[in-house]
Homo-oligomer: A and B are copies of this chain.
Amino acid sequence: MKKFEEKTYESETIYKGKIVQLDIDSVTLPDGQTSKRELIRHPGAVAVIALTEEGKMVCVEQYRKPMEKSIVEIPAGKLEPNEAPKPCALRELEEETGYTSDDLEFVTSFYTSPGFADEIVHLYFTDKIRPLENQPEGDEDEFVELIELTVEEAEALEKEERIHDAKTAYAILYLKLRNAL
């Protein structure tokens, strides 16, 4: 769908980093006027809603620099160049939690900030996980701690704003709905 399309007549890359790229696009609007769009380019990400045998949600706590606090999230990570979402989801689950699975099921995908960023999150679900025999190493500059939560515990952490991101908020609703149906 291209309704209200904004046609680009100029594009300037301001910054190209390890994770994000910032472009400024000059566009023609549907009414013929022009405007500028600030665009964050991101490789995309995956996240996994993983349940233990006891039905606990597998989460990780990590420090998030943008908000200067540590929060509890479902395992997630960035896509490597040319990496498909599902193997990436499995890799991140293994690296961040030490669990693996033969049974990742696609849930949905969503753009996180459609106004200014092209980051997309591909979300998977599994209730069939097992501990890896050899724990893999994660990213060298990533420090994460495994936490397993009932849905009620996760909701309590959300109220305290220790769970405080879109994909994990989505995961909590997903599990509540799964339990309700």
CB distance B165 to A110 under 8 Å?
yes
| Chain A 13-67 residues near chain B, CB threshold 8 A | 14-15, 17-20, 22, 24-25, 27, 29-31, 33, 35-42, 45, 61-67
Contact A64 B115 (CB under 8 A): yes
- Partner of A64 from B78, B114, B158 at Cβ < 8 Å: B114
Docked CA distance A145–B170 (Å): 26
**Which DSSP category, helix, strand, loop or mixed, fits chain A's interface?**
mixed
Given contacts A40-B40, A143-B29, contact A113 B113 (CB under 8 A): yes
- CB-CB < 8 A to A39: which residues of B? 65-66
CB pair B22 A22 closer than 8 Å: yes
The answer to whether residues A170 and B177 also contact, given A119-B113, A143-B29 and a CB cut-off of 8 A, is no
* Cβ contact within 8 Å between B112 and A112: yes
By a beta-carbon cutoff of 8 Å, the part of chain A in contact with chain B is: 1-6, 14-15, 17-20, 22, 24-25, 27, 29-31, 33, 35-42, 45, 61-67, 69-71, 73, 78, 108-121, 140-141, 143-145, 158, 161-162, 164-170, 173-174, 176-177, 180-181
- Tell me if B22 and A66 are in contact (CB < 8 A): no
Report yes or no: A73 in contact with B165, Cβ–Cβ below 8 A: no
A164 surroundings in chain B (CB, below 8 A): 109-111, 114
* Cβ-defined partner of A170 (8 Å) among B31, B73, B166: B166
Q: How distant is the Cα of A6 from the Cα of B144 in the complex, in angstroms?
A: 13
Q: How far is the CA of A36 from the CA of B169 in the complex (A)?
A: 28
Q: Which chain B residue shows the least CB distance to A64? A: B114
How far, in Å, is A150 (CB) from chain B's closest CB?
17
